[in-house]
A and B are shown apart, each in its own frame.
Chain A
Amino acid sequence: MGRLFSLTTIGLFILAWANIKASGQAPAPEPSHRVLVLYSDQRLLPANIVVDEAIHAVFTADTSNRIELYSEFLDVARFPGEQQQQRQRDFFLEKYRGRPPDLVIAVSASAFAFLAEHRAELFAGVPIVYCSAAGEPRPEDLSDTRIANVSVPDTVTLTLEMMLRLHPDARHVAIVSGSEPRERQEAEAFRKELSSFGNRVAFTWLTNLSMEELRGELSRLPDHTVVLYLTMFQDAAGRTFTPRQALDAFAPASRAPIYGYYDTYVGHGIVGGSMVTFDEIGRKAALLGIRILAGEEAQAASRSESYQPVPVFDWRQLQRWKISEQRLPPGSIVRFKQATYWEQYRWIIVAAISLFLLETLLIVALFVQLRRRRVAEASVRENEQRMSLAVDAANFGIWILDVARNEIWASDKWRELFGFASSERLDLERLLLRVHADDHEALQQVLAKALADGGSYDTEFRLTLPDDGLRWISSHGQVESDASGQAVRIRGASRDVTAQRQSEQETQLLRREVAHVGRVTMMGQLASALAHEINQPLGAILRNAEAAELFMQEVSPDLDEIRAIVTDIRKDDQRAGAVIDRMRGLLKRQPLDTQPLDVVELVGDVGALVRADAVARHVKLDLNVPGHLPHVRGDRVHLQQVLLNVILNGMDALNGSRGERRVSVTALLDGPHAVEIAVSDTGSGIPADKLAYVFDPFFTTKPNGMGMGLPISRTIIEAHGGRFWAENKASGGATFRFTLPIAEEIAAR
């Protein structure tokens, strides 16, 4: 075969180069390096275009060297044969004699084979970078240290495995390959490698077919088939293609997804594959070239390099074959992914939606506002109706006083309440004329205070009506002030509470009567003790008077004695009078007349009243009231009655008791505002099941009791603002306790 460069040629080549160097006067600056890129196939093979561009890009970017690049295309598919190679060799020999390359990059196996054959004659000693592509058989001899080759991983097998993973139900794999000799060779090599897959799937070899036949086969593929496409430079009919042209021609006919391992196929009918891109191959070759030109040994430089295949897919094919992107291996590159509308028109969409939302919001806001206004209107109407209903139901009369003009506007109800005709002109003076004389001043004060403070008022007063007698009015109002705090008007509501007041008064009256009954009952119990109490001074008076008579009958009466007698008589009369007064106080019906009371005095008075009874009943009466206690506020007579009742109860509790017979009255401070008075006896206490009822009216444990004493007593204490309760002592006996408020003005002193 004539693929050999002669030594002569090389010598000439070197000579020529040396000459040029020597002349040194060339008009154009000498390049620092020359690089020849020798392609196996034609210039327009897509892979070649990519590789060429990548190599150019890298070398151009290397600014440290000025590198001149030459490209040659063997086009072995269309110009096969030994003779043709000889011609090429001769041509290159001739062509590069004056410009011998410093580095040759062989793209694809055929170019490298050509170089290996004719290297000695053509480019002896020049380092070679061999760019192999996937699926190409590895050259036998790469041991020359001047040859750099980074081998491409077996992406064919990787792709096949990936296909089967993506199509787990695939039972057939159809392999498409061309009829060119090296294609046959490659297919044959591949067929051997596939033995490991044999038991998983059945392989169908679509080789040695014309394009038409191939299309026919592909269109009749059975279900569960996937297609792996190697290359097709030539069909069985002898038509040549670039493999991508062939793919374009048969892919549309296939009813099964096609996979391939060259990135130049992506976008031309394959779903995808595991690939090392031609761009990367080109760049790596160029970079290796730069390093070699810089002095590195070719083989050593290539050892540090390797490829990492990447799964690459065509998005449109994934859609066509309904393969979810989620199922793709990690790190997959998906090309031709159609931008969604969102991606394409994102800002327009955002703007449009924003505008739409804004408009919607505006409309909603308008609606809401409209609705609110309607609701508010309805609510105002409703409120007015409710108010008027409430005002009517509660029998409220409404009035408004214009302070500056002293004019009163009033509702019909108010006029009716106050006895004014509906047309009558009203002012404050006329209003006050209606008010009961006793309440006149108080009402004026309340209104004056409200006007001065700008607050609200709450009061009650009586009206004297020309025809209807007395009417109780409860009135509530609010003063409205202007910005400067000046009272502008009073709005008020008034109500007739006569019935309420009357019933309260009746209740009060009834309570007083019941209290009176209680007192009378108690007086019955006390009668004997009181008789003793009164008989004592009366007896003394009588005896003194009788003695005086006798003394005066004497011849010379002892006047000092008689004077002493008269003094004693007066004292005893006062004693008797005091007893009578106490009795009268107890018997009198009178409303609460509260005043500051000394607790010592209060308890002492009652103690004096019952002492005789206690003596008669063999009861020791202990009064233990400290003198420093503050005064309490209360009605003396009522409180005496309560104490009397409780002490007599205590003595009753001792009836039949053979142990200690004692009733104690103690008093102590109960917090800052009250004094607690406790009356304890040494009886057997109140049965636990009756403790809760002792304050119930008509509940009694005494044979002749009325069961009114304690309820009345409690009523009285509560009317004083105190509390009244009973408990049993741990040591036996009962204790009745009640509190009385401290008279504040006394306490404050």
Chain B
Amino acid sequence: MNVAASIVQIVDDDRSFLAATSRLLRASGFAVQTFSSASEFLAQRDDDAPGCVVADLQMPGMNGLDLQSALAQSGNPLPILFLTGHGDIPSTVRAMRGGAVDFLEKRAPKDKLLDAVRRALARDAREREELARQRELRSRFDALTERELEVLSHVVQGRLNKQIAADLGIHERTVKLHRTAITTKLRVQSVAELTRLTDEAGIFTASAQTFPKGQ
């Protein structure tokens, strides 16, 4: 994904520190947006914009951890990187459990900060890529008919055409026709690939794990 399009969102009530951090990240080549409180950020952010959040852990009003949970519940869970004047262990633990990318002291070395920001952006990119692929797969499966999905479910369980035909009470040739339609729509060459793709898309996750006895 396009890293340059990502924006680092900085949230800190200390305007002086906010400005300094913003300068450093801009000088390091990041696109930056600043907010002096968590609520301001949540109100103004672009829901689809990629990037990451650099937030002060201790802020009056909504603090860093509150911001983290608010973000997690939104449709665009940006990775969050916490800065703190002095870290206390309980907050750190909570932050990391909440999925924080990193937890840095405000006076942490520049490289550590920049690395953490890059890591956060990379994670965001990776997550976005994953999400995009999921969406694409989902659209391919969406093209399958009810019957084709039914046949597919038997195919990924390793059933033969003859067995499937018997199970569904249809002609074996009909089963073959459905299989051709499936491989074409899902753009796969082999049964193995079909199975992997189906897995990846998580189509039958709830029911796919049981194999008939004797197979």
Select which of B14, B23, B86, B105 is within 8 A of A528 by beta carbon. B86
Residue A90 interfacial (CB < 8 Å): no
B3-38 at interface with A (beta carbon < 8 Å):
14, 16-17, 19-21, 23-24, 26-28
- Measured between C-beta atoms, what is the minimum distance from B115 to chain A in Å? 14
B17 contact set on A, CB distance < 8 A: 536-537, 539-540, 543
| A539 touching B106 in the complex, CB below 8 Å, given contacts A533-B85, A544-B20, A547-B27 | yes
Q: Chain B's interface: helix, strand, loop or mixed, by majority?
A: mixed
Which of B16, B26, B63, B85 contacts A535, CB < 8 Å? B85
Instruction: Look across to chain A and name the residue whose beta carbon is closest to the beta carbon of B56.
Output: A536
A540 to B107, CA, bound (A): 8
Q: Please name all residues of chain A whose beta carbon is closer than 8 Å to the beta carbon of B107 when the two chains form the complex.
A: 535, 538-539, 542
* Contact residues in A for B85 (Cβ distance below 8 Å): 531-533, 535-536, 539, 612
Which of A538, A539, A542, A550 is the one whose CB lies under 8 Å from B28?
A550
Complex CA distance for A575 and B110, rounded to whole angstroms: 22
Q: Which residues of B contact A538 (CB under 8 A)?
A: 106-107
Q: How far is the CA of A539 from the CA of B106 in the complex (A)?
A: 5
Kindly provide the distance from the CB of A503 to the nearest chain B CB, expressed in whole angstroms.
45
Tell me the minimal C-beta distance from A462 to chain B in angstroms. Answer: 51
The reply to whether B20 and A528 form a contact with Cβ atoms under 8 Å apart is no
The reply to whether the CB of B46 lies closer than 8 angstroms to some CB of chain A is no
What 0/1 pattern do residues 524 to 562 of A give for CB contact below 8 A with B? Answer: 000010011101111111111011101100000000010
Known: A531-B86, A538-B107, A541-B20. A550 touches B27 (CB 8 A): yes
Q: Which 10 A-B pairs have the closest CB atoms?
A: A539-B106, A532-B85, A550-B27, A543-B20, A547-B23, A535-B85, A547-B24, A544-B20, A540-B17, A540-B20
Q: Complex: how many Å from CA A575 to CA B16?
A: 11
Q: Can you give 10 A-B contacts (C-beta < 8 A)?
A: A531-B85, A535-B85, A543-B21, A544-B24, A546-B27, A547-B20, A561-B23, A568-B16, A612-B85, A616-B88
CB distance from B58 to the nearest CB of A (A): 6
Q: What residues of B have a CB within 8 angstroms of the CB of A561 in the complex?
A: 23
CB of A572 closer than 8 Å to a CB of B: yes
Shortest beta-carbon distance, B25 to chain A, in Å? 8
- Interface residues in B71-109 by Cβ distance below 8 A to A read 83-86, 88, 105-107
Asked whether, in the complex, the Cβ of B106 is within 8 Å of the Cβ of A536, the reply is yes
Q: What B residues does A528 contact at CB under 8 A?
A: 86, 88
B60 at the interface (CB under 8 A from A): yes
- Of A532, A541, A615, which contacts B86 at CB under 8 A? A532
Answer yes or no: B59 CB below 8 A from chain A CBs.
yes
Residue of A nearest to B106 (CB): A539
Within 8 A of B (CB), among A243-261: none
Q: Which residues of B contact A535 (CB under 8 A)?
A: 85-86, 105-107
Q: Which of B58, B83, B85, B110 counts the most chain A CB atoms within 10 A?
A: B85
**Do A546 and B110 contact each other (CB < 8 Å), given the known contacts A540-B17, A568-B20?**
yes
Asked if B58 and A615 make an inter-chain contact with CB atoms under 8 angstroms apart, the answer reads: yes
Query: Is A134 located at the chain interface by the 8 A CB criterion?
Result: no
Is A615 touching B59 in the complex (CB atoms < 8 A)?
yes
A615 to B17: give the CA distance in the assembly, Å: 17
Bound Cα distance from A528 to B86, whole angstroms = 7
A148 within 8 Å of B (CB atoms): no
- How far apart are the CA atoms of A572 and B14 in the complex, in Å? 11
* B86 and A572 form a contact (CB under 8 A): no
Interface 1/0 per residue, A481-518 and B, CB below 8 Å: 00000000000000000000000000000000000000
How far, in angstroms, from A550 to B25 measured CA to CA in the complex? 10
Name the residue on A nearest B107 (C-beta). A539
B residues contacting the other copy or chain, number (CB 8 A):
24
Instruction: Collect the chain A residues with CB atoms within 8 Å of residue B106's CB.
Output: 535-536, 538-539
Q: Is A371 close to B, CB under 8 A?
A: no
Q: Could you say which of B24, B59, B60 has the most chain A C-beta atoms within 10 Å of its C-beta?
A: B24
Q: Say whether A639 faces chain B, with CB atoms less than 8 Å apart.
A: no
Q: Which residues of B contact A531 (CB under 8 A)?
A: 85-86
A485 to chain B, nearest CB (A): 72
Contacts of A616 in B (CB 8 A): 58, 88
A571, CB-defined interface residue at 8 Å: yes
A609 to B26, CA, bound (A): 32
Q: How far is the CA of A615 from the CA of B105 in the complex (A)?
A: 17
From 425 to 481 in chain A, residues with beta carbon under 8 angstroms from any chain B beta carbon are none
Contact flag A540-B110 (CB < 8 Å), given A528-B86, A532-B58, A547-B26:
no
A535-B106, A612-B58, A616-B58 known; A571 vs B23 contact (CB < 8 Å): no
Cα of A471 to Cα of B21 in the assembled complex, Å: 64
How far is A575 from B19 in the complex, measured between Cα atoms in Å?
Answer: 15
A565, CB-defined interface residue at 8 Å: yes
Q: What's the Cα separation between A490 and B181 when bound, in Å?
A: 129
Residues of B within 8 Å of A572, CB to CB, are 16, 20
Task: Give the CA-CA distance A480 to B176 in the complex, in Å.
Answer: 137
Query: Contact: B14 with A540, CB < 8 Å?
Result: yes
A49 shortest CB reach to chain B, Å: 140
Contacts A539-B107, A615-B59, A615-B60 known; A551 to B19 CB distance under 8 Å? no
Q: Are B27 and A551 in contact (CB under 8 A)?
A: yes
- Rounded to whole angstroms, the CA-CA distance of A528 and B105 in the bound complex is 13
Expressed in whole angstroms, the Cα–Cα distance for A551 and B59 within the complex equals: 29
Bound form: Cα–Cα A612–B24 in Å:
25
Least Cβ distance of A730 to chain B in Å?
Answer: 29
A546 and B24 within 8 A (CB): yes
Q: B179 CB to closest chain A CB, in angstroms?
A: 59
B52-70 to A contact mask, C-beta < 8 Å, 1/0: 0000001110010000000
Cα of A295 to Cα of B31 in the assembled complex, Å: 166
Q: How far is the CA of A550 from the CA of B21 in the complex (A)?
A: 13
Give the complex CA separation of A572 and B21 in angstroms: 13
From B16, B26, B84, B105, name the one whose CB has the most chain A CB atoms within 10 angstroms: B16
Closest CB of chain A to B111's CB: distance in Å?
10
Q: Give Cα A547–Cα B20 distance, bound, in whole angstroms.
A: 7
On chain B, the residues within 8 Å of A612 by CB distance are: 58, 85
Which residues of the partner chain A approach B84 to less than 8 Å between Cβ atoms? 532
Contacts A543-B17, A568-B16, A615-B58: A550 and B88 contacting too (C-beta < 8 A)? no
Q: Which one of A537, A546, A615 lies within 8 Å of B16 (CB-CB)? A: A537
Q: Which residue of A lies closest to B61 (CB)?
A: A615
Q: Using A537-B17, A543-B21 as known contacts, list a sample of 17 further A-B pairs with CB atoms less than 8 Å apart, ordered by residue number in A.
A: A531-B86, A532-B86, A535-B107, A538-B107, A540-B14, A540-B19, A540-B20, A546-B24, A546-B27, A547-B23, A547-B24, A547-B27, A548-B23, A551-B27, A572-B16, A615-B60, A615-B63
| Closest chain A CB from B123 CB (angstroms) | 23
In the assembled complex, the CB of A576 is this many whole angstroms from the nearest CB of chain B, namely 11
Min C-beta distance of B67 to chain A, whole Å? 14
Which chain A positions have C-beta within 8 A of B26?
A: 547
A550, B22: Cα distance in complex, Å: 13
CB distance from A656 to the nearest CB of B (A): 14
Chain A residues near B21 (CB-CB < 8 A): 540, 543
How distant is the Cα of A616 from the Cα of B57 in the complex, in angstroms?
9
B118 CB, min distance to chain A CBs, angstroms: 15
**A532 CA / B88 CA spacing, docked (Å):** 11
Q: A533 to nearest B CB, angstroms?
A: 7
The minimal Cβ–Cβ distance linking B62 to chain A, given in whole angstroms, is 12
